[in-house]
Amino acid sequence: MLMMAGGGFGVFEQIEEILDSKPTFIVLSQVKQELEKIASTGSPRERKAAAVALELIKAKCTVVDLGPGGTGGVDELIVEAALREKALVATNDRKLRKKLRERGLAEIYFREEKDMLESQSAM
């Protein structure tokens, strides 16, 4: 989702519109580290999007460090943080979305057919 924002898609604005409020945007330090890696080693297009995403994080987000991830890695840390904070998670990762639904967590994701973000509560 942050790479989409870095590519010029209005992720933050659409989330605010969906929620009809200005939420606190939280990014895990591990996600920020992944973006930093992409910004230095990705393709030219990926590097640019990651660099812009990192600037957006500085301007719009609170970075939270939950310590080292367990065997589940960053996805498990995201689920853990969402459970703890009762937070919505914005992601395009299908595996992560499935984990969120299994744990009863709401999500925001990109709906390609509509070229916009949508929110889904857990079923």
What is the 8-class DSSP label of residue 39? H
Query: Residue 123 pLDDT > 60, yes or no?
Result: no
2-120 topology per CATH: Rossmann fold (3.40.50)
Query: What's the whole-number mean pLDDT along residues 30-51?
Result: 95
Going from N- to C-terminal start, the domains of the chain cover: 2-120
What is the H or E stretch that residue 73 is in? helix 73-85
Confidence of residue 73 (pLDDT cuts 50, 70, 90): confident
